[in-house]
Amino acid sequence: MRCPNCGFNFSQGFLCPKCGIDTFVFLKTRNLSIRLYNEALEMAKEMDLSGAAEKLEQSLLFDKNNTQARNLLGLIYCETGRIADALKHWIFSTSIAKENNPAVGYMDFLQKNGREMEKYNDAVVMYNQALLYLNHGSDDMAIIQLKKAIDSNPNFIEAYNLLILCCIEENNHKRAQHFIDIVLKKDKKNPKALKYANSISAGTANGIRKKAQRPTDAKEDALQKTVSIKKTDSAPPIPRYKRKEKKIGVLEKRDLISFLVGICSAAIVILVLIMPAINEVKDKTILDLQTKVDSYAGETKMTPDEVLKMRTELETLQGENKRLRSEETKQANLELLQTAVSQMTDNDFETCVATLERIDTMGFSEEDIAKYNTVKATAYPKAADSLYTKGKSEFLSNNFADAKVSLESALKYTSNENFIDDAYFYLAKIAEKEEDLEKAKTYYQKVVSEYPDSNQLANAENALSQLAEQP
């Protein structure tokens, strides 16, 4: 049996002797992750986005490397206005597998639509501002911010839900029902919207019972009829609300947490999507200024002072643009470092070292460099050992092409491991199979000259003698 986790081949039982994983349980959990993904896909097709998102989150608990589940969860988050959460999953997905991964296309699409991303970011900022207003008792200002957030991002489900809650708090049930209908049209089983709908239904039923028990005179009936005639629109305007003195606050602890998460989300959107768009605008401005400066000649109407001023402006823009690009690159590298830390924590050392190789530490603080070196010192030996074990297993299974890749990768991350000589010996054998005799001799010679205590020493010397005898 081949271990699905580390690739080691073994013949007895289900427990891998190399990594110690129970392959039976491992395969069961992976299959369960796939089944949950399929269920989520069907729910998403039926516009049950909340249910699909919950299923996908469960799927990733069983298999964090299920890129299909991550990509679909990102699409659902994007559809419901959670752009930053979508980006987080797509970035993780591309770190697992970049080739033929649709997540790359999703992120490229977002980057090419910088103006839309600015609107989505503005919506998050307005939503967080609304939370602050509600926390300080300014319901009317919060509602204004929420309406602006919805205008900027019509798919922002959480903004709709908070607006519904505000309407319910002020007993404007008709307006609340209008927004509930919008949410359920986008996400037909949204739990918050359904909860609010049930609350409105229960409140309306209680109101009808109280009204039936209370006698009304003819003048009051006429007044109610007049009010009813005037308020027949499907989406009546929101009145200016005043908080009652003894009313319980709208916000709970989870809203404060949402506020902090929202700030982080806005920062991610700015750094990943908005800043490249800003840089593109600056690049165009710099190019235009440079063209004007280069085209200056004696016959133009520009004075030398005007040209000098333009050159100064150009240099200032170039300096600022360079600083922004440097900050953007640094932030992207810090994100990669955090991804590598997460991968190391999950014992995914091979992916971790691949991520580390993509990091440029230019501009890192001393603390960040120390963190990078710590991760590297821990992950490199582990990855080298894992890759060597995989390569040896592939070699013994006559899978020479994959074995060559694994063994060469293992040597990239080694320092003084005791299997280096064996790796060179196996690579020499593979080179012989590929009829690359010069490379085979080079590898054998490394074993002989650099590892005199190697268990492969005699084999390498014999191989060199046989190759020397060949014409």
Beta bridge partners of 22: 15
Which residues sit opposite 15 in a β-bridge?
A: 22
Rounded CA separation 347/367 (Å): 23
What tokens were used for 246?
């003894």
- 417 in Cβ contact with 381 (< 8 Å): yes
Nearest to 389, CA basis, from 27, 20, 13: 20
Residue 160: C-alpha distances to residues 150, 261, 286 (Å): 7, 18, 42
pLDDT of amino acid 408: 92
Half-sphere exposure of 466 (CA within 13 A, CB side): 11
Question: Is the distance from CB of 11 to CB of 1 less than 8 angstroms?
Answer: yes
Q: 3-state DSSP: the chain helix, strand, coil percent, rounded to 5? A: 75, 0, 25
Measured distance CA(41)–CA(192) in Å, rounded = 21
CB atoms inside a 10 Å sphere around CB 2: 14
Strand partners, 360: none
- Residue by residue, pLDDT tens for the chain (471 residues) are 566 566 566 555 557 666 666 666 777 788 888 889 999 899 888 888 888 889 898 988 888 888 889 999 989 988 888 888 888 888 888 888 878 888 888 888 877 777 777 788 888 888 888 888 888 877 888 888 888 888 888 888 888 989 898 888 888 888 888 889 998 988 888 888 899 888 888 766 555 455 445 444 444 444 444 443 333 333 444 444 444 443 444 444 455 545 454 555 555 554 544 455 555 555 566 565 556 555 554 445 556 666 677 667 667 766 666 666 667 777 888 888 888 888 888 888 888 988 888 888 888 888 888 889 999 899 999 889 989 998 998 888 889 999 999 999 999 898 877 889 999 999 999 999 998 989 999 999 999 999 888 888 888 899 888 888 776
Tokens representing 3 are 């271990």
CA distance 340 to 328: 19
What Å distances lie between residue 212 and 205, 206, 208, 209, 216, CA to CA?
Answer: 11, 10, 6, 5, 9
Q: Which residues, including other chains, have CB under 8 Å from residue 74's CB and lie 6 or more apart?
A: 85, 86, 87, 88, 89, 90, 93, 103, 106
What's the pLDDT at 339?
Answer: 86
Amino acid at 209: R
d(CA 31, CA 62) in angstroms, rounded, equals 9
Residue with tokens 């074995």: 403
Q: Is the dihedral of CA 373, 374, 375, 381 positive or negative?
A: positive
Question: Taking a C-beta distance cutoff of 8 angstroms, is the pair 386, 349 a contact?
Answer: yes
pTM of the model: 0.43
Distance CA 55, CA 73 (A): 9
Angle at 334 between CA 328 and CA 340, to 5 degrees: 140
User: Tokens 């890129």 sit at which residue?
Assistant: 67
Q: In the prediction, which pLDDT does 90 show?
A: 87
The pLDDT of residue 13 is 58
HEC string for 51-119:
HHHHHHHHHHHHCCCCHHHHHHHHHHHHHCCCHHHHHHHHHHHHHHCCCCCHHHHHHHHHHHCHHHHHH
Which helix (DSSP H) or strand (DSSP E) does residue 423 occupy? helix 420-433
DSSP 12: S
Which residue type occupies 281? V
Q: Cα–Cα distance between 153 and 168 in angstroms, integer?
A: 22
Whether 307 and 293 have beta carbons less than 8 Å apart is answered as yes
**Sequence-separated (6 or more) residues with CB below 8 Å from residue 88:** 74, 268
Which residue in the block uniquely carries the two structure tokens 């190391």? 344
Cα–Cα distance for residue pair 40/59, rounded to 1 Å: 9
One-letter identity of residue 63: D
Show the tokens assigned to 281.
């605008």
- Name the residue with tokens 């986008």: 186
